[in-house]
Structure 1
Amino acid sequence: MIPPASPRPPRFPYATGGDGSPRLVYGADYNPEQWPREVWEEDIRLMREAGVNIVSLAIFSWARLQPTAETWDFAWLDEIMALLHEGGIGVDLATATASPPPWLTAAHPEILPVTVTGETVWPGARQHWRPTSPVFREHALRLVRQLATRYARHPALVAWHINNELGCHNVYDYSDDAARAFRAWLRRRYSTLDALNGAWGTAFWSQHYSDWDQILPPRLAASHPNPTQQLDFKRFSSDALKDHLRAEREVLRELTPDTPVTSNFMVMPGIKGMDYADWASEVDFVSNDHYVVPGPQDRDELSFSANLTSGIAGHRPWFLMEHSTSAVNWQPVNRAKAPGELARDSLLHVAHGADAVCFFQWRQSAAGAEKYHSAMVPHAGADSDLFRSVVALGRTIEALGPVAGAEREPARVAVLFDWDSWWTSEHDSHPTSRLDYHREALDWYSALLRLGIRADVVPAQDTDLTTYDVVIAPVLHVVPQPLAKELTRYVEGGGHLVTTYFSGVVDENDHIWLGGYPGALRELLGVRIEEFGPLLDGDTVDLDNATTGSLWTDRITVSGPDVEVLARYRTGAYASRPAVTRHTTGRGSATYISTRLGVDGLSTLLPELLAPAGVTSELPEVACGSVELTVRRGDGYRYLFLVNRTDAPVPLPGVTRDVLAGPEPGGDGLVLPPREVAVLRLPAS
């Protein structure tokens, strides 16, 4: 295991204009090796036309850079690096370790991952390597050292790009290498077998371990594997990938100490195996890939993920490494973006702190698995509406140069996001298999957007809660004692906590807090629950505040005189019993919601929950629900991003000046066209 390096101040590879002023970064993944040499100069000409000032290079180039175990070919990379530098385009150079070349897997099939059922994951796609394979690590670091030595002083190099989307396809490996590494990880965590047996509750089902070598990953079993073993394997798997990131980073820092290092995270739906809040301190600046998944909350989810990325980055600027200009290739139906969506999606990331807007990829591939994935230059070529939209976005990105370096201004409301709770609340053998942690968190965020309330999405760990008036913690299932104490101090100091069903139930080892639910939060919330009441598919319950619950109910007993019942069940097994409660304690309050209310129900309930803190929308009433407001602050200015979430124009009365980018206002104010974004620059008070 590679120890963490000493922390360094966050560094971001800003591009600069001719006068040296900072500007936002704009570009794409670039794969020149897929194209004949004569295309390269046209690419650079078109990049300059579009305003591109950075590209990520060599991401999947290992087989080209190292054709055999003992031969190297850097000539093509030397040439394209020189051409890009001459064109004024910086390079985020990848370490190219994401996909092993055929010669390596043929010589060393022992680097290939193994599935939970014992099947080998064969070459033919990408990421066919074990994060814990010492053989793979040796060959990967040899490549990294060659690249870093050769390009350490290259004038085009502005950043290093470690691997690519670490863990996208190989986060869980059940091989013998993984088993050995898992045991070593457990030894560091628990020190003794007695401590491990206690944490894993191995008295259950005769699972007591008497030797470390008896311990395996949670491979296919006859029934539900040990839940703490499952949780620890998830933690280990995230750490194993983080360890690989560290190993590559240490070579780069040794040979190129002044070049910042990053790796592209994937804060987006369906990606849950990597604890990015834990990874953030390992890179010099946070990067993220995000792709919209069509659905009723698709733009809410884009905003949520960009917001969470900002929270992971500590509200400092971050790098949008990948998103799409239009359709992707990997969804069941790959919808093209409507006019205006390319720019709106991009600028919404900027609104939430991205100082780089980059796409996968520059030129749409003619062959391979991603040939139908959109790009900045589509199959139709530069004479296309898509490329013209790319050029127009480049001009907007240039106009927003003054925003570069500005941090997101904190909101008054925070939504907590916790990887341990995400992993654990969705384990098998629970009261319901229908619980969706991410969806519950997104529902709260969607309801806040509908009400025009600015909110931050932040990791549950290492966040200073006292900076927020209201903290919403949906399904905060895992609550170690220190977190319970921190939440209590927050409330008693004047904060207002809101949490939900299945919160506070277990400790860090996935052991139940005994004495009644919600366990570690029982006294803080002033309620006691003896038994859960999950609902069958299609079943709902009505509340007396005109909302409807689904998925879950609780038989609540109020346990103190300072607990106010905000809503009761009107129907169902717990009719007339409390459904939503608020406990006033100290100078604050703690509220409990015992059922899934969905976006509509939460939108009805939220004003009452926010009232004790005096939180209301900063938008004019006519814009609430139609416009998202996000604020960045820097160099004596506040930058207000106003994003039209709808397909209709939205009036913004009172906005008559200070528009840095977007439509020009008239005498009566600004009318924000469908799917467009306006950015105001106002002096900071």
Structure 2
Amino acid sequence: MHTPPPPLRIGASYYPEHWPRPRWHEDLQLMKEADLDVLRVGEFAWAALQPGPEHWDWEWLDQFMDDAHEHGIQILLCTPSACPPPWLIDLEPDILPQMADGSIKSLGARRHYSPFHAAYRDRAAAMAAQLGQRYGQHPALMGWQIDNELCGNITDCGPLAQAAFQQWLRQRFNDHLDDFCTALGLHFWSQRYSSWDQIPLPIQGSHHPGLKLLFQECCSDYWIAFCAAQVQAIREQNCPQPITTNCYAFNFGMAIDWRQLVEEAPLDCFSFDNYARSAHEACFYHDLGSSMGVPYWITEQQSGPYGANYPWPEDPLRVTTMATNGREHGAEAILYFPWRQIPWGQEQEHGAILDHNGKPGLQFHRVCSTNAQLRNCKPLPPQGIGLAFCWRDSWAWQHAGLKISYAEEMIERCYRGLLGVTPRVEICTHPDDLARLRIAIIPLKCVYDAAWEAAIIRLVVSGGQVLCCAHTFARDAYNAYRSQYLGRTMEDLFGIQVNRRIRIRNDAAITCDDGLRMHMVAEILDVDDAEIITRYSDGPQPHSAALTRKDHASGGAAWYCAGYPDHHGFTALVQRVTTHVGNADVSQ
């Protein structure tokens, strides 16, 4: 029996500490008129809640929580660790992270702290515990948000980070330094270390791609631990509400493995701040968010222009399109950012539901109309077609010689192409996710992983279709090329061997006999017992196989594309697969 989706929550970000108290009542009344039922509060309020080391001011938040409850509006309460207050920096100045160029990130921005700073992690957890103890049983409270847009594009590169990385490596390699040096091939360029203390941060210029990959993994682990400390602190106060944190688009970087964050923090909901540049990019993030195995919330939905983003002439339906796309792709909560334009600080140009004057205007009425549509909007059902997406692969590509923008290629080439075939894509961030699919598209999967290999085989053996692309499993866990690119097991599954790899110039492409054009990289295949579907018509080795398929007794098939077409070509590739299994009309 089909389970109906939970009711949609609609809300906005609100900053009661910014406005005089008489204004609260007026805003709450307008929010009810706009059909909002949730407010996100407190993510930058540390200085307002604790103006000094021994000075607390809870009264204003107590009052606002009560006022919101009286108006029938619930609160998503945030921990304020994204902005440690000035008095705390005075006490512990080494909280400020050191940038790659040696400069110290200054007070006055946000995320001006290092996840490697143990004392700050403890202080942030203590603040979360205070909030949990005071508000955990408040009738207005519906959930918790940890921090705000964890990490962003900030990476600490100072002494704390280096010491943490060295310790992390010691644990990773069970204190066996020789094993570490051998695994990374550190005889290259005389990089073999005789002490853990010699290992640098791989941040300047040309550096070892394996060490860079490991530092990315280390940073992700520390950010997750920073979040987890606050989750634990709230849970210890017996707070029953769901806990989340809001993640940001990949143009801020991919420093944190979101799937690992959900599982290890752990989080009860996955949340995303939607400032996507296009509808298909937004849909990608929504499909990714709703594939995490927990409820999916949009904690910031851009409600108006922001600086140079989407100025006039504007699309009058942009807010409606973005919000309804979110709901159709699985969001269970949509919160606009912000309720009112802020007159001060770095976000004073950020569009909002209300303008600076605080009066209902054009955007307010657009949001009211959008919300009426959202109440009748239902999520699209999954189609059984999925796209593999892995943070470790992204980090490997980022730090390898090819330096392909993983997120950009996945969104603009692969996911966009899939949308030409199916209205909703299941994003697979863990090998177990493949079990729920009929068709799996696995591009840019460059790092070998035995669990992913086994999941691919299981899907084909159980009658599913798998399409892998160039560079599949070409690298090991330390970003080194494997001597046998695919490996014997995958060669048997696909019926091919990868003979040679070719890097394609950015302004060039290799054409196939069916019109497909391969970009970025292409491979020369030796075909054993697969069927050749398409051949190269030009390039360094014309007439060699560009697309193959090996059918299996289960009814499944293993497809291999030896390059990367553009998004139109990806649509054509997936249409071939769906046609092969009798699903040519899946988009209907």
- The verdict on how the C-alpha distance between 1:200 and 1:22 changes in structure 2, with shifts beyond 3 A counting, is closer
Q: What per-residue deviation string (whole Å, max 9, x for no partner) do you get for residues 380-421 of structure 1?
A: 644422100111223334445xx6xx8x74322111111111
Selected match of 2:395 from 412, 423, 427? 423
Q: 1:117 to 1:531 in 2, by over 3 A?
A: farther
Q: How far 1:141 moved relative to its partner? A: 2.5
Counterpart in the other structure of 1:524? 493
Listed as ranges, the matches of 1:626-645 within 5 Å are none
2:121 and 2:522 map into 1 onto residues whose CA distance is 49
What does residue 522 of structure 2 align with? 553
SS of residue paired to 2:399: coil
Using the TM superposition, give the Cα deviation of residue 519 of structure 1 relative to its aligned residue in structure 2, in angstroms: 7.5
Q: Counterparts of 1:337 and 1:462 in 2: how far apart (Å)? A: 42
Q: Show CA shifts across 1:140-178 (max 9, x none).
A: 2232232222223222222111111111132x2112111
SS in 2 for 1:536: coil
Q: Which residue of 1 aligns with 2:469?
A: 500
- In structure 1, give the amino acid aligned to 2:397: S
* Residue-by-residue CA offset, 1:422-475 (whole Å, 9 max, x unaligned): 1102324x2x34554542454232223223454312214332x23212110011
Aligned equivalent of 1:624: none
- Is it true that 1:252 corresponds to 2:222 in the alignment? no
Where in structure 1 are there 5+ consecutive unaligned residues?
Answer: 1-20, 621-685
Residue 304, structure 1, aligned to residue 284, structure 2: yes
Cα distance change on mapping 1:613 and 1:468 into 2, 3 Å: farther
Q: 2:140 aligns to what?
A: 156
Identity of aligned residues (%): 29
Q: Show CA shifts across 1:28-60 (max 9, x none).
A: 111122223332111111111111111111110
1:420–1:478 CA contact under 8 A, matched in 2: yes
Inter-CA distance 119–144: structure 2 relative to 1 (3 Å threshold): same
Q: Are the counterparts in 2 of residues 363 and 376 from structure 1 also a CA contact under 8 Å?
A: yes
> Does the 8 Å CA contact 1:532/1:554 hold for their aligned counterparts?
yes
Q: Cα distance, 1:269 vs. partner? A: 4.5
Pick from 98, 103, 121: which aligns with 1:119?
103
Q: Which residue of 2 aligns with 1:604?
A: 572
Measure how far apart 1:598 and its partner are: 0.4
Whichever residue aligns with residue 242 of structure 2, its letter is: P
User: How has the CA–CA distance of structure 1 residues 450 and 336 changed in structure 2, closer, same or farther, with 3 Å as cutoff?
Assistant: same
Change (3 A) 1:520 1:460: farther
Structure 1 partner of 2:218: 236
Describe the shift of the 1:504–1:321 C-alpha distance in structure 2 as closer, same or farther (beyond 3 A): same
- State the SS of the aligned residue for 1:551: strand
Separation (CA, whole Å) in 2 of partners of 1:126 and 1:574: 53
Q: 1:155 to 1:493 in 2, by over 3 A?
A: closer
2:301 corresponding residue in structure 1: 323
Judge conservation of contact 1:452–1:617 (CA < 8 Å) in 2: no
How far apart, in 1, do the equivalents of 2:103 and 2:54 lie?
31
1:142 is aligned to: 126
List aligned pairs for 1:467-546, cutoff 5 A.
467-516=436-485, 521-546=490-515
1:621-671 CA-to-partner distances (Å, cap 9, x unmatched) read xxxxxxxxxxxxxxxxxxxxxxxxxxxxxxxxxxxxxxxxxxxxxxxxxxx
Distance 1:542 1:63 in 2: 60
Amino acid corresponding to residue 151 of structure 1 in structure 2: Y
Residue 446 in structure 1 maps to residue 446 in structure 2: no
| Cα distance in 2 for residues equivalent to 1:261 and 1:591 | 41
Question: 131-140 or 245-254: which moved more?
Answer: 131-140
**SS of residue in 2 equivalent to 1:570:** coil
Stretch moving more, 113-122 or 298-307? 113-122
How far the C-alpha of 1:114 sits from its partner, in A, is 1.1
The partner residue of 1:590 within 541, 544, 558 is 558
Instruction: Output one character per residue of 1:164-193: Cα deviation in whole Å (capped at 9) or x when no partner.
Output: 1111132x2112111222223223222122
1:55-74 → structure 2 map (5 Å cutoff): 55-74=39-58
Q: What CA distance in whole angstroms lies between the structure 1 residues aligned with 2:159 and 2:254?
A: 24
Amino acid at match of 2:284: F
Is 1:207 aligned with 2:191? yes
Cα distance per residue 1:65-85 (max 9 Å; x no partner): 111112111121122111111
Q: Does 1:39 align with 2:19?
A: no
Matching of residue 197 in structure 1 with residue 197 in structure 2: no
Code of the residue aligned with 1:368 in structure 2: it is G
Kept in 2, the 8 Å contact 1:364–1:378? The answer is yes
CA distance, structure 2, for counterparts of residue 480 and residue 468 of structure 1 = 19
- Give the alignment partner of residue 411 of structure 1, picking from 376, 379, 383: 383
Alignment check: 8 A CA contact 1:52 1:89 kept: yes
Partner letter of residue 605 of structure 1? L
Alignment of 1:456 onto 2:423:
no
Distance in 2 (CA, whole Å) between partners of 1:243 and 1:321 is 22
- Compared CA separation, residues 459 and 109, structure 1 to 2 (3 A): same
Q: Secondary structure at the match of 2:130?
A: helix
Contact persistence 2:153–2:253 (CA under 8 A): no
Please name the residue that 2:345 is paired with: 368
Q: Aligned letter for 1:563?
A: A
